[in-house]
Amino acid sequence: MNPKISVIIPVYNAEPFLERCLISILNQDFDEEYEIIAVNDGSADKSLEILENFSKKQDKLRVISQKNAGVSAARNKGISSARGEYIAFIDSDDFVEKNFLSALYNAAKRSDADIAVCGYKNVNSTNTLRIGCVFKHRAGVFSSEKMLKSLLFDIFTRSYVWNKLYRRALFTENKVKFPTGVHFEDVIIMPQLFYYAKKVAVIRGNLYNYVQRKGSITGTLSAKSINDYVAAYGKIREFLQKQGVFYAYKGAYRFLGVKIAFTVVPMLIGCSRRDPDLNLRQSIEYSLKRLLFV
């Protein structure tokens, strides 16, 4: 097997959604070879059983099990095991449209792009409501510089890892790995990938279905996870400074800081209602100082 694409699915206690996810990626209209690498991250439910049952019938699916180490470690394991020219990531509670792989792959190959991006739909847990993303980058092929600025503005291009296709060499040749032990790892890693990419292709169509369910990180925010969010913003600056290009992106970076500040304050207010021991004023001052004066 010489796959063109390796699809990486980190799996942790995804029993209610996993079968739908697997069926959606197995039923692609993609004519080329592709592999699916499901990394079971120490699931305590029947996720591993579901994966093993599918793998017995589907040669495309490989199952790797590890002790629970988090989604970043699972994705890194998948990358190190991947054989495809390109890599796609799918979260185990989400699902994709039938032409997800073919549309992204064809766009990347036509333009020799290192990253291809599609639109997405927000879906509730019962799949009774689907809302397409309102703000979209226009379709076309763009330079790394233009798309990195768009990513930092965080309006038309978002730091989601899952609605994109990546040339595997972006990870292997530049030694890019998902940071472990923190939330919002995609916020940290996406600017790196866009920086190293020479070209980015953007296509029309909402081909990824992002399921918003209770218990997700964004649905159960704590003061710690908010601090991780702010820290991720700082990591972006650290990377840009290390590459010697911070001032080329300073305006977009500052805009992102203000945007995050207006997001973080309501989050902290919500946390204070659930956690009476949280010093709200101190937490807000700490976050704003890091966001606006770094």
Q: What are phi and psi of 143, to 5 degrees?
A: -75, 160
Q: How far apart are CA 62 and CA 76, in angstroms?
A: 15
Q: What percent of the chain has pLDDT over 70?
A: 91
| 73 neighbors 66 (Cβ within 8 angstroms) | yes
Question: In the predicted model, what is the mean pLDDT of the chain?
Answer: 90
| Mean pLDDT along residues 209-221 | 65
- Report the half-sphere exposure of 244 (CA within 13 A, side-chain side): 0
Tell me whether residue 10 is exposed, middle or buried, using C-beta atoms within 10 angstroms of its C-beta: 0 to 12, 13 to 18, 19 or more: buried
How much is the pLDDT for 217?
45
How much is the pLDDT for 234?
87
- Other CB atoms within 10 Å distance of the CB of residue 71: 22
* 41 token code pair: 């991250």
| 156 neighbors 167 (Cβ within 8 angstroms) | no
Decide if pLDDT at 219 tops 70. Answer: no
Tell me whether residue 185 is exposed, middle or buried, using C-beta atoms within 10 angstroms of its C-beta: 0 to 12, 13 to 18, 19 or more: buried
**pLDDT tens across 188-210, in order?**
999 999 999 999 999 999 999 99
Q: How far apart are CA 199 and CA 95, in angstroms?
A: 27
How much is the pLDDT for 190?
97
| 68 neighbors 94 (Cβ within 8 angstroms) | no
| Mean pLDDT along residues 288-292 | 68
| 205 neighbors 103 (Cβ within 8 angstroms) | yes
- Other CB atoms within 10 Å distance of the CB of residue 206: 18
Question: Between 275 and 48, where is the model more confident?
Answer: 48
**pLDDT tens across 37-56, in order?**
999 999 999 999 999 999 99
Question: Between 283 and 196, where is the model more confident?
Answer: 196
How much is the pLDDT for 129?
67
How much is the pLDDT for 125?
73
How much is the pLDDT for 13?
96
Decide if pLDDT at 240 tops 80. Answer: yes
pLDDT interval class at 128 (50, 70, 90): low
Decide if pLDDT at 290 tops 90. Answer: no
Task: Label each residue of the chain as H, E or C.
Answer: CCCCEEEEEEECCCHHHHHHHHHHHHCCCCCCCEEEEEEEECCCCCHHHHHHHHHHHCCCEEEEEECCCCHHHHHHHHHHHCCCCEEEECCCCCEECCCHHHHHHHHHHHHCCCEEEEEEEEEECCCCCEEECCCCCCCEEEEHHHHHHHHHHCCCCCCCCCCEEEECHHHHCCCCCCCCCCCCHHHHHHHHHHHHCCEEEEEEEEEEEEEECCCCHHHCCCHHHHHHHHHHHHHHHHHHHHCCCHHHCHHHHHHHHHHHHHHHHHHHHHHHHHCCCCCHHHHHHHHHHHHHCC
Decide if pLDDT at 254 tops 50. Answer: yes
* 158 token code pair: 């978002």
How much is the pLDDT for 293?
57
**pLDDT tens across 1-20, in order?**
789 999 999 999 999 999 99
| 117 neighbors 157 (Cβ within 8 angstroms) | yes
How much is the pLDDT for 278?
67
Q: How far apart are CA 163 and CA 91, in angstroms?
A: 10
Question: Between 282 and 97, where is the model more confident?
Answer: 97
**pLDDT tens across 135-192, in order?**
788 999 999 999 999 999 999 999 999 999 999 999 999 999 999 988 889 999 999 9
